Amino acid sequence: MTLATLSEVLQPAMTGGYAVAGLVTLGWEDMRAYVAAAEAEGVPVILQAGPSCRAHTPLPILGHMFRHLAEGAGVPVVAHLDHGYTMDECREALEAGFTSLMFDGSRKPLAQNIDETAAIAEMAHGAGISCEGEIGFVGYSGGEGSAGTDTGEAAQFARQTGVDAMAISVGNVHLQQDRQAGLDEARIRAIEAVTEVPLVIHGGSGVPVAQRRALAQGSKVCKFNIGTELRMAFGAALRDAVARDPERFDRVQILKETHDPVCAAARRVLADFKAAGG
């Protein structure tokens, strides 16, 4: 069994000059392909259940799915709650067997975000699992705008919450379909100078590949969340499978044909985050 906590995969990444991908899952087909890709590349992987995934499949079921895949995997697999918004939701994920809780209080006033994140970190650590928090709101392509992370607030947040990883807003945007969201590296350097906590970039699909690779190998950014580009690969594979034979109706047969393309796309993502020469 290679089920791991977030801290167990991020601490070696921070000292080893690489990053770990948090791959956003929507169902069995993609999460299975992600683990296959991680095994092929020989790297750990973080399976992430975000709000849209949880709206489709209950947390206890997702917990079983993640843990089942981890038990058969030859690489470390983290079962991660992405963008948990309440204590109850985070507790439900913990009870469902998740090994990492991401609490998103980034829309809240600083003091409230710190207090609520600290309480969830305490709960997580008491159960022997990890906690990720977010300081500075990361916006959405075509939706809410971002509020960049303040360096002083980041230092205070890291110090007072006890989180194992800290998501920051430095030009990254959720749901971006092209790679135009170049990150503010000066702000990243300022933040990493005032904390020893591994940093996280949400909306990693929008970050140019060269910048993703450089930051993975040469900064405290140890986790990139990748969702949109893999959902696009899944959608393209599904359309191709349906179009090849319009008479088919068995969804299991159709969905099987998404595996190889999604696995290949995930392998390309994972390879970007390896250490230099890896």
Torsion, Cα 236 238 243 244, to 10 degrees, reads 110
C-alpha distances out from residue 163 to 55, 101, 121, 123, 238, Å: 26, 10, 6, 11, 38
Torsion, Cα 258 263 265 270, to 10 degrees, reads 160
Is 178 designated active site?
A: no
| Catalytic-labelled residue, pool 30, 82, 104, 150 | 82
Tokens found for residue 276: 């230099």
Q: How many helices (H) does the chain have, and how many strands (E)?
A: 12, 9
**Other Cβ atoms closer than 10 A to 191:** 28
Q: What is the DSSP letter of 206?
A: G
- Find all residues with CB under 8 Å of 230, minimum gap 6, and list them: 23, 24, 30, 34, 205, 262, 265, 266, 269
Question: How far is 149 from 106, CA to CA, in rounded Å?
Answer: 10
Return the active site residues.
82
